[in-house]
Structure 1
Amino acid sequence: MKKVEIFDPAMCCSTGVCGPSVDPNLTRVASAVYSMEQKGVDIKRFNLANDPAAFADNKTVNQVLQEKGADALPVILLDGEVVKVGEYPTNEEFAEWLEVSAEELTQKPCVRVSVKLD
């Protein structure tokens, strides 16, 4: 199975819903990551503000940061190789890399709620 790692810039959260304006691209990425996690895909996100050791410990990401600075973030790795720098993947790119349909990345979780009426 393929492994995707997303190295985000320093943010307060990964969803993009905090702060004065919502970034729809971050919300889309968070939704795609959640959908893939639910399917057992090996996909991880690292936030520079919360997990700086992940950036320092990963030689590939560290090299990108040394060469291009923090403006290169996000850095996306597929099986340890850089596939995208400076912007988030589209759902089509995620689908291609992970060999799934793009629709699977936008499916809402199905939750069953049991209600007992007395």
Structure 2
Amino acid sequence: MARIRIYDPALCCPTGVCGPSVDPELTRIATAIFLLEKKGVDVKRFNLSSEPQEFVEELKVQKLLEEKGTDALPVVIVNGEVEKIGEYPSNDELASWTGLSKGELSKKDKSKNNITLL
């Protein structure tokens, strides 16, 4: 199965899903990662503000930051190869990389009128 590493820009918390106005893209990726972890996928996120050493130790990320600055973030590395620069992967991409179905990367919250969290 895939090994996925996501190098986030500086966020206020590990998921970026906090504060008065939440970016829906951060909510979607946080939900997808949570569900991937539940399925046993080796996926990790690193936050530039709280884990800068991870950005230094991953030479591909370090090089992108030197070339493009923080505009390169987020950087997504799958099985050691850079797959995305400057944007989060779609649920289709995550499904393709992991062999899961796209439906397995959305979550129905039954306590809130069957709203699908993307």
TM-score, length basis structure 1:
0.87
Which letter does structure 1 place at the counterpart of 2:38?
Q
C-alpha separation between the residues in 2 aligned to 1:12 and 1:82? 25
Does residue 55 in structure 1 map to residue 55 in structure 2? yes
Does residue 28 in structure 1 map to residue 28 in structure 2? yes
User: 1:1-118 residue pairs with structure 2 within 5 A?
Assistant: 1-108=1-108
CA-based RMSD: 1.6
**Residues 14, 26 of structure 1: 8 Å contact kept:** no
Which letter does structure 1 place at the counterpart of 2:76?
I
TM-score, length basis structure 2:
0.87
Q: Which segment drifts farther, 36-45 or 12-21?
A: 12-21
**Residues 32, 106 of structure 1: 8 Å contact kept:** yes
| Aligned counterpart, 1:113 | none
C-alpha separation between the residues in 1 aligned to 2:70 and 2:83? 17
| Aligned counterpart, 2:113 | none
Identical columns (%):
55
Which letter does structure 2 place at the counterpart of 1:105?
L
**Residues 11, 47 of structure 1: 8 Å contact kept:** yes
**Residues 74, 87 of structure 1: 8 Å contact kept:** yes
> Which runs of 5 or more structure 2 residues have no equivalent in the other structure?
111-118
C-alpha separation between the residues in 1 aligned to 2:42 and 2:64? 22
Which letter does structure 2 place at the counterpart of 1:92?
D
C-alpha separation between the residues in 1 aligned to 2:17 and 2:97? 26
Number of aligned residue pairs: 110
Label 1:109 to 1:46 Cα distance change in 2 as closer, same or farther (>3 A): farther
Once superposed, which parts of structure 1, at least 4 consecutive aligned residues long, lie more than 6 Å away? none
**Greater Rg, structure 1 or structure 2?**
1
**Residues 9, 48 of structure 1: 8 Å contact kept:** yes
> Which runs of 5 or more structure 1 residues have no equivalent in the other structure?
111-118
Label 1:45 to 1:109 Cα distance change in 2 as closer, same or farther (>3 A): farther
Write 1 or 2 for the structure with the bigger share of strand: 2
